[in-house]
Structure 1
C-alpha cells in the first residue's frame, strides 16, 4: 500500500525543489518506510528507490521523533553503523521529521556536500532549521488535506454504493439546486435519467400522508408528485446541502392499491351465456371499451354489473392502469367522501392520523367503478359532478388541486329517473353519467344462459370443495329454468353452491340437491306451463305433509323462512346479508339477532 507522501508525490517534489533553491543545497524527502519520494541535485536520479538498507540516520529520526543534525558525517557516533561511514561524501546533514498529528509520515533531509555549503548552513543554522520546519509543516498540511479528501471520497463512494441498494429514491442536492448524485431507484421511479449537474426544483405542497410529506419536484420541463422527506445535511452548503428520500406518488398508490383492492382479471370470456341478450352485451362491451366516455350500467341486483365494468376496463386502452371499485351503498355517508377523495393528516376528528389516498387518486390513468351510484348522498353528487366537469380533485383538509385522468363507470339497480322526479338524484349528474347506457337483462329474461351458468358454477364449487362432479340432470335444469330468479345470477350461484354441498358421491346434481324454495317455486311455474306429471306437481306445490292443502306456518316460522330465502338469494357474506336485510326491510343488527334465535 502506498504511503501518503507517495500519493502527493508531485506536491512533495515541488516543496523539495523550492527548499533546494532557497538553501542552495541538495534535498531529499523519504517516507516512513524509507522510500525516497523526492530529491534534488545528486538525489534526483535516485527518486522512487528503497533506501532502507542505508538510511540509518533517518531510521533513528523515525524511532525518536527528533530532528538530527550531523556536523561531521562519517566521524560521529551515530554514523558508525552506516554502510557509507568510511566513504561518506557529505559535509553536513539536517534530518527533519514530517508529522501529521502524532504520526511521523516522512523525513526531509537537507544535505551539504561541500565545505562552502556547510559554512553557509552553520552561518544561519537557526534560520535553516526554521525554514525546514516550515516546509515540513507545509507538506504535513497537504498530506492532511489529501487524507481528508480521500476519506471524504471514500465516504462518498460508500454512500453511493449504499444508496444504490436502497429501494427508495435518493437525490443529494447542492445549495445551488443542482443534483450531486442520485440512486437507481430514483431514476427508475421517475423514469428519468438525472445525471450530476441537473438542475432541480423541490417544493413542499403542505400535505402529509402515510408518515410522509408531499413535494412537487420539477426536473427540466417535467413535474412529479412525490412523497418523502427532505433533510438538511450537516454541511448545509456546497454540493452536499440536502438529501431527498422519496417514493413516487405512483409507487405509493400502487402499494396502497395492492393492499386495499381486489385483483380483477375478468374479461368478456368470463361472461357466460348463450342467449342473444348476453351475446349482444358482449358486443356492446367491446364497442364501448374503446371510448373514454362515462358508462352507466343498469340492471337488477345480482345481474353482474361489476363483471361488465371489469370487462370494459380489460378490453380498453386503460387496462394497464388500475380498476378501482367502490360501493356507494356499503360505506357510511360520513365516510364516503373521504374514501372517494382521500384526506391529509389532521383533516377531521377520527381520521387516520397519517392521511389516506382516495379512490379517484388511486384510479388515475385507469378506471373507477362507482357501484350503487343511486345511493350516493346529494351533496356528494354535486362534488362528483364537479369532478366530471373539471377532472380535478382536492383531498379533504388540503387546498391542493390534483389533476386526474380517470374513466368513470357507474352502476345502479335503482330507477334514477324516478329518483330525479323525487329530488333524490341530480338530473345534471344523471346526464353526465348516462353518456353510454348499458342495461343488463335479468336472468329470467335469458333462460338460455341458465344451463351453461349452472354448469360453470357446479364445476367451480366441486373443485373448491374437492368433490367429484359429473352432470346436472334434465329435471333439475327444467326446474332452474322455471324458477323466476329474483336474485339473478348471484342467486343462481348461491343455489348451485348449495347443491354441490348436498351432492352425493355419484357427482350428480339431481332434484334431491335442490333447495326447497327453488324446488317448490320452480315446480309451481312448471305446473302452470305443463299438465303432465300432475301427481308429481301436486307433491311439489303442496307441503311435504302429504295433505292436499298447504301447511299453515306460524309467524315465527314464516319469518325464519323469509330470512333463509333472502340469505340463499343474496349470499352468506357480509355484503349479502346487508342486501338481504335491506330487502327484508330490517337493519343488519336485527338480521343477525334473528339468525341467532
Structure 2
C-alpha cells in the first residue's frame, strides 16, 4: 500500500486531529518516509526522518517516548540529546495484518507536554482510534480511500471519543456536537457556548487562544473542565473545537432538544406522531422508526429520549452503516485489556455501557452484520453481555431505539436480517412519512429553517417569494426534510434582500423541478382528504371532523369524495 498516493486524504485526518485535540501529528510509511504532517511538526522536525525510531514502532506496535532525544533508538539522529519534541506517542498502522505505516502524536511545548502527560491514557485511546480509522479508510470498499467514505468515518470517529466534543463558528454558535457532549449538556436549549461558559473564557476561545483544562462550575453540584483549540483557515480563526470533561454532577438540570432541532410540523401526520410519542416516551419497550432518508428519524429518536424520564442520562448513537464489521463488536460491547493486538491496556467501554440509564439509538439498523444481530438479540432478551475478551457479565439498563430506511420485511425475506431480532426491535413502530406526503407542514418548516440560518449566518431573510413557494410545492423532495433544510441554508447565503427569489435557488433544484410532472390541484386535494379521513375515520363522525378541519360543508366533502372516486372503507 502506497500511503503517498493517499496524502491528500490523510492530511484531512491530521486536520481533524488538530481541530479536535490540538495535537501535532505526522504519518510515516513503512519505510520510515514522512507522508504528511501538521505544519508545526514540519517546522520543528522537517522532512528528514530518523528511520530506527520509526522502524522500532513498526516492530513493537506502540511506543511512548517520554524523553525524546535520549532514547537508544535516538542514537545517530541529528536531534540526539536535543530533540524539539518533549513527548511522543507513536502507533503502528496495520492493513491486512501487514504494517503499512506509523501515526505519531508529538508535544513541542511545555503546555502540550503537560496536557498529554496529564491525560496520557486518553490520548493513547485517541491515537488507537485514529489508527483504526486510517486502516479502515485504506481498507475501503473499493480498495482505498475515497471522498465518499472519508466523511462518514470522520463523523463516526467523533462519536467514539468518550469526552464531549463540539465545534463552534467564529461567533461561538454551536455547529455540531457528539453524543457525549449532548449527554453532558443534557440536550439543553444551547445555541452558543455563551449559554454555558463564562464570558472571559468565551472571549479567549473565539480570539484564537488555546485553552487547557479550564475549570467551569455551574453550581455546587455541577462542574467540568474545558479545553479548546482554534480552527484556522489561512491564518484566520474560523471557530473552535471544544472538549468537555465532566468533573461532577449533570451540567444542566432539564434535558431538552435545542429549539432549532425540535420536530416541526402540526399537520395531520406530525400531530399523530407527537401524540403517539407522548404515549411511549417513558415506556421501556423498544421503538423502531421507519421512513425514507432525510425524514427526521434521528430527530424523533432524540425527541423520545429528551421527553422521557431518561433525559438526564446519555443519548448514544451508533451508525451501523459507518462502522466496519471487524470493529462492530468492540464498539458495541467494548473490550477488556489485552483482548486483541493493539487493544488499550486499560480496555474500553462500548456504546451499550456508555448508554447506561439512557438510550442507545441504532441508526441504519438494517446494515448491522449478521453475526452481530444474534449477539444483540441476546442482549435484548436479558440485558446483559460480556466485553470482547472478558468473562465478567455486564448488566445494562438502556432503552433501544432503532431506525432504517430499508424495507425490513424484504431484508428478512432475503436472509439479510433476523426476523426474531426485528420482532424485538419493532415493539413500537413509528413511520415517518416523506415530505411530499406532508406538504401541509411546509410553512412551519420553512419558518423554522429561516430562523435557524438567519441566526447562524447573521442574516435577515424574512420570506420566500410566491414563485419560490410554488416551486417548493411542485417538487417531490427525494431528500425530504434534510434536502429542504439544505436548500434553505443555500438560499439564506445567496439572498441579497429580505425575500428569497427564484434566482437564489440552487441550479440543480431548478433543473429537477422543471423535469418533474406538476401534480394537479385536484390530485393534491384528494390526497389531503384521504389522509385526513385516514386520521379522523371514515365513519360519519370522522367525515364530519374532516369537513370541519377543511373548512367545508359535509355535503361538499361528499361531492369531492365522489369526484375522487373514494369508497367508504
TM-score range, shorter chain: 0.3 to 0.5
TM-score by structure 1 length?
0.45
Higher Cα Rg: structure 1 or 2?
Answer: 1
Task: Flag the structure with more relative contact order, 1 or 2, with Cα contacts below 8 A and sequence separation at least 6.
Answer: 2
TM-score by structure 2 length?
0.47
